[in-house]
Structure 1
Amino acid sequence: MKESSQSIQKIANGIKSGQVGIFPCDTVLGIIGLVTIENIKRIRAIKKRGDSPFLFLIPSQKWIESLTEGLSESQRMYCKRYWPGPMTFIFEKSARVPDELTEYKESIAIRYPQFQPLNTILDAVNAPLISTSVNISGEKAARRVSDCNPEIIDKCDFVYDELLPSLDTASTIVDIRTDNPSVIRKGAVEFERI
């Protein structure tokens, strides 16, 4: 089993060097890593997952401009209302984002989280991270490290379980690409239209 009491700074340094591992997000445990094609392939293999795209976690709202095709006034208002927090928004992907990073989709799922250990990692790395639930595709997502499939733990570079989020519920996912947002998944917070 991986060392679970690694310092956050050590994990951040590992992520900068390309490591992926298990870390508590603001909602549930996640497998996280830098947004690279290699990490996407690796995490996909760890989870035995098909080609559905991963969520991007951002260190601050300033990253939204580089990942999306510009924001409408209503999108800005939704971001201001719900971020930081357990709300994942789907936007039009920027042409600057390589298609391989979003599985050739024209959309991108982004969350600006609110959970101090994760925000510390994001600030230290100063770049977006990919994130996905800790499970083999089709299985129930792990809520605690003790629930994790040992096969996943063995394939990760780090496991951090010092402090778990209090929500223990997946994020809400809302597609805000149009002026008529649609809730894709109900989760930790209730979405209200502006």
Structure 2
Amino acid sequence: MTVSGGSHSRVCNTGGTSGAEPFLGVDVFRGIMPEMTISPHDLRKASAVIAKGGVIAFPTETFYGLGVNPFDRQALARVFALKGRSTVDPLLVLIEARSDVRRLASEVTSTAERLMEAYWPGPLTLIFRALPSLPPELTAGTGTIGVRLSSHPDLPRLLEAAGGALTGTSANRTGEAPASTADEVRRIFGSEVELVLDGGRTAGAPPSTVLDTTTTPPRLVREGRVSKASLLAIIGSLAA
């Protein structure tokens, strides 16, 4: 993985398919992902940027994401400003391990546990009831939090270096197409993003599927790479 820094050199130097298809399982999905390419040097740089409240861009199994410490309110404000995103829209969090859900969610239902077992790591974002201690910028006052365990092979070590969690909102201005290459990230944000981790072209559309597990049965918010039919095969029913 190659690295590009923005104009904040002081910070950096210190540190496709066209439609939703049934999900075929983690091993099959990983088969279309690039091999791990992130270097220890890249990890050190990313860790330093994040620790100082900076923003990094990195590849996921769908698009490139913008990552900051999800518990740093000033860093979260930077993400909203970069994207031109409304503060009424919550931010997704990527986690290193399934157990990290407990750092974010106040309740994990048995249905959510089944979904995590079936699809994580993978392109399924689950919405949970949020811990009241989470920054309000993260939940946007909804009382809920979206979480994903990514299947991209570079993410576990990056997330470990970042302390176990990063925001995972797509790298784009609000209303525009998400970036699927590092060059697209640079073209969109220029020096506004301190560090771009170049993992080549990502799979792109469709995006992750988003499922709200705070309702019974769960509510499909967005059908993406994991299909509705696949979800129904696991949990039996979805909210109308």
TM-score (normalised: structure 1): 0.89
Residue identity matched to 1:99: P
Deviation per CA, 1:4-32: give whole Å up to 9, x if none.
99723322332233221211112211111
- CA distance in 1 between partners of 2:62 and 2:119 (Å): 14
**1:108-136 Cα distance to aligned partner (Å, 9 max, x none):** 10001111212210012223111211111
Are residue 41 (structure 1) and residue 77 (structure 2) matched?
yes
Gaps of 5+ in 1: none
Q: In structure 2, what is the equivalent of residue 172 of structure 1?
A: 209
> Aligned letter for 2:174?
S
Q: CA deviation at 1:151?
A: 5.0
1:168 to partner: Cα distance: 4.9
Give a deviation string over 1:58-117, Cα, whole Å, max 9, x none: 111111122112212111111111111111001111123233321111111000111121
The answer on whether the counterparts of 1:88 and 1:109 sit within 8 Å (CA) in structure 2 is: yes
| 1:27 equivalent in structure 2 | 62
* Ranges in structure 2 where 5+ consecutive residues have no aligned partner: 7-37, 236-240
2:177 counterpart of 1:140: yes
RMSD: 2.2
- Does residue 16 (structure 1) correspond to residue 64 (structure 2)? The answer is no
Per-residue deviation, 1:176: 1.2
Aligned residues: 194
**What secondary structure does 1:13 align onto?**
helix
Q: Structure 2 residue aligned with 1:182, among 219, 230, 236?
A: 219
Structure 1 CA distance, aligned partners of 2:175 and 2:186?
13
Query: 2:20 corresponds to which residue?
Result: none
Distance in 1, matches of 2:82 and 2:68, equals 13
8 Å Cα contact 1:167/1:188 also seen in 2: no
- Kept after mapping to 2: 8 A contact 1:53/1:102: yes
Question: Aligned residue for 1:131?
Answer: 168
Q: Which has the larger radius of gyration?
A: 2
What is the one-letter code of the residue matched to 1:43?
A: V
After superposition, give the CA deviation of every residue in 1:149-180 in whole Å (9 maximum; x if it has no partner).
63512200011113443455311111111221
Q: State the alpha-carbon separation in 2 of the partners of residues 162 and 97 from structure 1.
A: 30
Using the size of structure 2 for normalisation, the TM-score is: 0.73
The answer to whether structure 1 residue 83 and structure 2 residue 114 are counterparts is no
Report the equivalent of 2:152.
115
Cα distance in structure 2, aligned partners of 1:71 and 1:147: 36
Identity among equivalent positions (%) equals 27
List structure 1 segments (4+ residues) > 4 angstroms apart after TM superposition: none
- Of residues 55-64 and 6-15 in structure 1, the stretch that sits farther from structure 2 once superposed is 6-15
